[in-house]
A and B are shown apart, each in its own frame.
Chain A
């Protein structure tokens, strides 16, 4: 039954493709059925003209459609996929979340022996399917993914799944821009706040001051602005790219993709976030959602009202509408710039339900910024650090902030005016390190109960340093609410849900069939997520991809990546070829994920059983973050230690 539903959806996708790009022949990947031979699929990439917002814009499509065709595989089979490049540029296709040999992973210059697909060329991929579930594929060249080179993968399981359903729909979320992606990057580099339509202005400051009830409140407002300015960051900067139209399976909200059901049926929704730069907060008013798979892997079913899905993540949920009303799936962008939506209804062709008003736009508070110094002492890193370019932070030999490598922060010395730019890295280590507490008359340390982890005695670097200590002098720390300041919970998603609503957290995810026994990691590698918003480049441990050497891991080891997000942005970190096991407190049942969202200012440990030799990409799945440097190559090698001596 669900087979039929899915193929019907495929046909619908084709309909839209035909609408957007006339005369696309052979739009579906046609599996050539054979015996004992691997099934063969054909994908052809080409330039097209798309009309998504009412303007005809250049785009890229697979087999003439956006998204590309659904690749429906079977667990245990081997497939051959011929990718033909009719673009005028180099390309590649990566199979996101699939466990396969490095040579088939499709990242030019990183995957073993793969240099991409030249214009006019055809590349043949061939690999066995060793897993089941919902995944997706996309270009791993430049920002082609943003232009339309993405599609979904469904792998039917070899054994029955631990849940049942009557209908099956793919819900592939994405963000479309009428701009060409290279212009987006140029705009961001020129002005990082280019797309921040909610930026606080001088006028808004005057307004806030006028509304303030008394002098103390006015003073608090001013010091808040000064503090943000001093960090060269902007608290309204939740998403860095705007002007998006959000799509479901290529449909705009008005086009209203519709999943048909009969009352009482159980409907499986395979959510895939193929957004280049968008976290979505998902809800279906009137229906609870039971999450049964996360990133393709079965989890103990958990019923929630809402969930946040970061770029590249997938969640499979079951819903069970009891009555025949029209339900609306709302996927609101985290920065509250728009919705993707579709309908669940008993018939097709109904108009979309009206979109609700946006929930309040989250504004980062100082607490969200986390004052995140990360763990201290030996917990901070590893005595056997990754092989890395200069800038890697060696483990601290003493507590507190003493061992921090400020030299790697590349912080712009000139105070950019107002709220612009900067990064968490600057805040933590620049602004704070330069803080001279003795010159802060208004500061009441006694009231700063929440900053328990902060040992002032251990901050040798604290004197009147470079960055704007003058501005700090006027700061009213009492008004900053240090009392309530705590490390942000790395696993709670503040989606603005009403009280009592259950919102999915990684903590709720328990692997139904853990793949690996629990064991202690052989070493801990610190992965600081860093960046310079001012010049719009992003980095890992202070080094962008082009400056860094590969991280070497050894086959058979269990490595722990200690992510420390020193920036104000969430970074969905993705490792190719091996599962990431976030340490969320569920022991052997910690979930197996291919992408782990690291919240701003938070720290999270992720274990990895290093069981796949070769070269693998490791990067932030915010497309422009990856493109501007937040990426590494991981080399999994046989030889122990010797290779890492350098």
Chain B
């Protein structure tokens, strides 16, 4: 029974990886509906965000359509966290991808660089050549991964008002409270 389950997990893993290969095209571009990579010279305002295990401070931010914001995100927790701006549906999709990566051991709970220490030879059937490490790459302009104790910056231009959340999509973190609201001022 256990063997069957681990096989099923392996199959899921494979599916997950396959999905990552395909889906980034969708996930990566979805932010374009409301924003784009910001330019440093357009920044008028910096918003400081503190991440803990597992919460954000503040829990709500306010922006204007057309505004370019620098987010300075500090991870005061002991776990790896993400600051990702998107719709609830985007977050849900991203959570599935993250889950697949954690299941496969491609990511660790404490560092985004866990990949480096990974023994790829131990993962038969994984075609790394074909993997662009979609969601892991995290050079999307709407998201940043922050190691424990580190601070990262992200410059994002909100082009259009939308119903958005900022969230951490590492397995279990969103559900534990790492989600906040983005309000658009009129």
Q: Which residues of A line the B interface, CB within 8 A?
A: 160, 162-165, 266, 288, 290, 292, 300-303, 318, 320, 322, 367-368, 486, 488-489, 491-492, 494, 499-500, 510, 512
Q: Offer 11 A-B interface pairs, CB within 8 angstroms, sorted by A.
A: A163-B55, A164-B54, A266-B175, A288-B175, A300-B172, A301-B172, A301-B173, A303-B99, A322-B88, A488-B1, A489-B5
In the bound complex, residues from chain B placing their C-beta under 8 Å from that of A300 are: 79, 109, 172
Tell me if A's interface is mostly helix, strand, loop or mixed.
Answer: loop
Which of B3, B79, B176 has the largest number of chain A CB atoms within 10 A?
A: B176
Which of these, A318, A367, A486, A510, contacts B176 with CB under 8 Å? A318
A492 pairs with B176, CB closer than 8 A: no
In the bound complex, residues from chain A placing their C-beta under 8 Å from that of B177 are: 163-165, 266, 318
Cβ distance A389 to chain B, nearest Cβ, rounded Å? 35
In the bound complex, residues from chain B placing their C-beta under 8 Å from that of A491 are: 2
A320 pairs with B175, CB closer than 8 A: yes
> In the bound complex, what is the Cα–Cα distance between A326 and B5 (angstroms)?
32
B175 pairs with A162, CB closer than 8 A: no
The 8 closest A-B pairs by CB, nearest first: A489-B2, A301-B172, A164-B177, A290-B175, A163-B176, A162-B53, A301-B176, A492-B2
A450, closest chain B residue (CB): B3
A303 pairs with B55, CB closer than 8 A: no
In the bound complex, residues from chain B placing their C-beta under 8 Å from that of A160 are: 52, 55
> In the bound complex, what is the Cα–Cα distance between A288 and B79 (angstroms)?
22
Other contacts beyond A492-B2, A512-B53: 7, CB < 8 A: A162-B53, A162-B77, A290-B175, A301-B172, A301-B176, A320-B175, A510-B109
In the bound complex, residues from chain A placing their C-beta under 8 Å from that of B5 are: 489, 492
B53 pairs with A290, CB closer than 8 A: no
In the bound complex, residues from chain A placing their C-beta under 8 Å from that of B52 are: 160, 162
B61 at the interface (CB under 8 A from A): no
> In the bound complex, what is the Cα–Cα distance between A165 and B171 (angstroms)?
17
Q: Mark B34-54, 1 if CB is under 8 A from A, else 0.
A: 000000000000000000111
In the bound complex, residues from chain B placing their C-beta under 8 Å from that of A510 are: 109
Within 8 A of A (CB), among B50-87: 52-55, 77, 79
B8 at the interface (CB under 8 A from A): yes
> In the bound complex, what is the Cα–Cα distance between A162 and B109 (angstroms)?
14
Cβ distance B47 to chain A, nearest Cβ, rounded Å? 20
Which of these, A301, A367, A494, A499, contacts B175 with CB under 8 Å? A301
Within 8 A of A (CB), among B12-35: 12
B171 pairs with A302, CB closer than 8 A: yes
In the bound complex, residues from chain A placing their C-beta under 8 Å from that of B172 are: 290, 292, 300-303
Cβ distance B182 to chain A, nearest Cβ, rounded Å? 15
In the bound complex, residues from chain A placing their C-beta under 8 Å from that of B79 are: 300
Cβ distance B95 to chain A, nearest Cβ, rounded Å? 8
A163 pairs with B54, CB closer than 8 A: yes
> In the bound complex, what is the Cα–Cα distance between A512 and B54 (angstroms)?
11
Cβ distance B8 to chain A, nearest Cβ, rounded Å? 7
In the bound complex, residues from chain B placing their C-beta under 8 Å from that of A292 are: 172, 176
Within 8 A of A (CB), among B78-108: 79, 88, 99
> In the bound complex, what is the Cα–Cα distance between A621 and B1 (angstroms)?
25
B54 pairs with A162, CB closer than 8 A: yes
In the bound complex, residues from chain A placing their C-beta under 8 Å from that of B173 are: 301
In the bound complex, residues from chain B placing their C-beta under 8 Å from that of A489 are: 1-3, 5
A164 pairs with B55, CB closer than 8 A: yes
In the bound complex, residues from chain B placing their C-beta under 8 Å from that of A367 are: 1
A166, closest chain B residue (CB): B177
> In the bound complex, what is the Cα–Cα distance between A303 and B98 (angstroms)?
12
Cβ distance B164 to chain A, nearest Cβ, rounded Å? 14
B53 pairs with A318, CB closer than 8 A: no
> In the bound complex, what is the Cα–Cα distance between A491 and B5 (angstroms)?
11
> In the bound complex, what is the Cα–Cα distance between A318 and B175 (angstroms)?
7
A163, closest chain B residue (CB): B176
> In the bound complex, what is the Cα–Cα distance between A384 and B1 (angstroms)?
35
A490, closest chain B residue (CB): B2
In the bound complex, residues from chain B placing their C-beta under 8 Å from that of A290 are: 172, 175-176
